[in-house]
Amino acid sequence: MAAQPKQQTATASHRTPPVHTDPDEVSLETALLALADPVRQSLVRELAGAGDWERACGSFDVPVTKATLSRHFAVLREAGLLEQRDAGPKRLNRLRRAEFDARFPGLLDLVLRQDTTA
């Protein structure tokens, strides 16, 4: 965290800057719907296993194409589940764990506990 010469600005690589939604403005229905999808569950779990801003969008191991993956990230963003920041051509992610947990206590934990069993 020393003085770095503007490594990542606000809007960087893509047509549109990431649009974030605060967890406080998210309905329970939206949150449940976002977390119900298996692919998005994987994303959230992998994200939780890594540190903030450590993973770029393309670095996740899910069986979908880039286009679909991008859509899933948009859904998670709109559900207040993650924050994104552009760093060069990459888009880094952060799980909004504390904020989301404050809005929907216990919900994220359910997904992270991997209870996808039966």
User: Where on the chain is the footprint of DNA (CB under 7 A)?
Assistant: 12-16, 18, 33, 37, 39-40, 56-59, 63-75, 84, 88-91
Nearer to DNA, 16 or 114 (CB): 16
Nearer to its own copies, 8 or 21 (CB): 21
Nearer to DNA, 26 or 84 (CB): 84
d(CA 30, CA 44): 15
If residue 90 lies in a helix (H) or strand (E), which one and from where to where?
strand 90-95
CB 66: neighbour CB atoms within 10 A? 9
d(CA 9, CA 42): 28
Q: Which residues are at the interface with its own copies (CB under 8 A)?
A: 24-29, 32-33, 35-38, 41, 103-107, 109-111, 115-118
